[in-house]
Amino acid sequence: MKPPIVLVLASLVVLAACSRQEPAPDPIRAVRTLTIAPQTAGGTHEYAGEVRARTESRLGFRVGGKIVRRAADLGDVVKAGQVLAQLDPQDLQLGQESARAALSAAQVNLDQAAADFRRFKDLRDQGFISSAELERRETTLKSAQAQLAQARAQNSVQGNQAAYASLVADAKGVITGVDAEPGMVVAAGSPVVRLAHDGARDVIFSVPEDRVGLIKQLAGAPGRFKVRLWGADAAPLAATIREISAAADPVTRTFLVKADIGNAAVRLGQTATVLVEMPQTAGIVKLPLSALKEEQGKSIVWLVDRSSMTVRAQPVQVAGADGNEAVIAAGLQAGQVVVTAGVHVLNPGQKVKFYVEPGVPSASAAAAVPATAVTVK
């Protein structure tokens, strides 16, 4: 009975071997490509900014008190010396009257001390009192003189304090903020209104950490910076870098930069775009971010071999990013064809074909779009 069993097992093995199928070959995928053609190019970086006044003051009272009136509203144009807000002057007036009374008392005390000194001097000359007693009267006179000087100074201070009950604009400008309302009790120096002075205007924008060095290098170069106002049809305004923050913002990790646009006719708070013209650099290409793939911690791209229409992985060195494109510093040569889409579904040696846009003759599909050169940042 054993031979039949052996035959059955052998038959099962043969059938199992016959049932195995060869794995299906990778499909021929249509890929979008571009041809590397490095050239000398610069490019322009754009940063979103906002128009601000060169000088913006936070005005507050020099004395504390209760605000009884605010004479300027948000957006009002004010002149230098115009009253913006008023404190309750009652306590300040009482303090001034007290200082005046103290001044009068000090004057009376001085007059009395001077009269006593003259009388005791006559008595000393007649020999009725000693010189020591006259010296005590002279000391009293000098003390009264010092008290009078102190009272005069205090009276002047109280006079100034009473004048400080009115908050006035220190320059011509526009009110850009209101921080206190009537009825509020404010301390000395607390901001009440914000005043943007007339004159030069700045555009404030932020620069990432990896580009602030380049901005510093270009700050002294004429014509590198321009400002385009949002919604304006006019040509971009010339700008110069006036100030670059020495420390990065702890939250955004960006550096604040101020660009001077002079006395341009712009609106405060208006949105603006700062255009930075990059210097010309040769031999640098940029690729769409979709052309890159991370593999074992390295950036690679897929190159197409035109003769066999297969792809192979090529490591590249990425220098930075420019919007939705990556700046390639090394790893590519002119004439190479790079896959720009679908890189995550390709395998080494896989057959591909050029993607043909609808309505485009197939003969033109083999000509890939050349890459453009940009500046390494």
Residue 22 pLDDT > 80: no
Tokens encoding 271: 């949105």
pLDDT: which is higher, 6 or 286? 286
What is residue 375's predicted lDDT score, i.e. its pLDDT? 36
What is residue 364's predicted lDDT score, i.e. its pLDDT? 46
Residue 5 pLDDT > 70: no
Instruction: Give the pLDDT band of residue 355 (cuts 50, 70, 90).
Output: confident
Q: What percent of the chain has pLDDT over 90?
A: 24
Same domain, 157 and 61: no
pLDDT: which is higher, 345 or 59? 59
Contacts with 294 (C-beta within 8 Å, 6 or more apart), sequence order: 300
Within a domain: 12: no
Segments forming the whole domain that contains residue 271: 45-54+199-277
Within a domain: 364: yes
Arithmetic mean of pLDDT, 340-358: 81
Within a domain: 1: no
Tokens encoding 120: 């005791």
> What digits encode the pLDDT tens for the residues 168-197?
998 999 999 999 999 999 999 899 999 999
> What digits encode the pLDDT tens for the residues 273-293?
999 887 766 667 778 888 888
Within a domain: 337: yes
Q: Which of 232, 252, 277 is the last residue of a domain?
A: 277
Within a domain: 125: yes
When divided into structural domains, the chain yields a total of 4
Same domain, 154 and 247: no
Contact 318, 326 (CB under 8 A): yes
Within a domain: 24: no
What is residue 285's predicted lDDT score, i.e. its pLDDT? 79
Same domain, 66 and 187: yes
Same domain, 204 and 185: no
Instruction: Give the pLDDT band of residue 366 (cuts 50, 70, 90).
Output: very low
Same domain, 357 and 226: no
Contact 180, 160 (CB under 8 A): no
Within a domain: 7: no
Alpha-carbon distance 370 to 34, whole Å?
Answer: 5
Same domain, 118 and 78: no
Domain harbouring 49, CATH code: 2.40.30.170
Q: Which of 222, 256, 277 is the last residue of a domain?
A: 277
Arithmetic mean of pLDDT, 10-27: 56
The per-residue pLDDT of the chain, averaged, comes to 81
CA pseudo-torsion sign 194, 197, 202, 203:
positive
Domain harbouring 126, CATH code: 1.10.287
Same domain, 69 and 179: yes
Instruction: Give the pLDDT band of residue 299 (cuts 50, 70, 90).
Output: confident
Contacts with 67 (C-beta within 8 Å, 6 or more apart), sequence order: 85, 86, 87, 88, 180, 181, 182, 183, 184, 185, 186, 192
Q: What percent of the chain has pLDDT over 70?
A: 84
pLDDT: which is higher, 362 or 112? 112
Residue 3 pLDDT > 70: no
Q: For the chain, how far is it from start to end, CA to CA, in angstroms? A: 83
Interstrand relation of 77-78 and 83-87 (parallel, antiparallel or unpaired): unpaired
Q: Which helix (H) or strand (E) holds 21?
A: none
Same domain, 68 and 170: yes
Same domain, 172 and 299: no
Same domain, 77 and 177: yes
Phi, psi of 216 (to 5 degrees): -65, -40
Same domain, 241 and 269: yes
> What digits encode the pLDDT tens for the residues 201-254?
999 999 998 888 888 988 888 888 999 988 777 788 889 999 999 999 999 999
What residues form DSSP beta bridges with 328? 285, 318
> What digits encode the pLDDT tens for the residues 43-85?
678 899 999 998 899 999 988 889 999 999 998 999 999 999 9
Same domain, 296 and 363: yes
Tokens encoding 328: 């390639």
Instruction: Give the pLDDT band of residue 40 (cuts 50, 70, 90).
Output: low
Within a domain: 4: no
Q: Which of 163, 188, 217 is the last residue of a domain?
A: 163
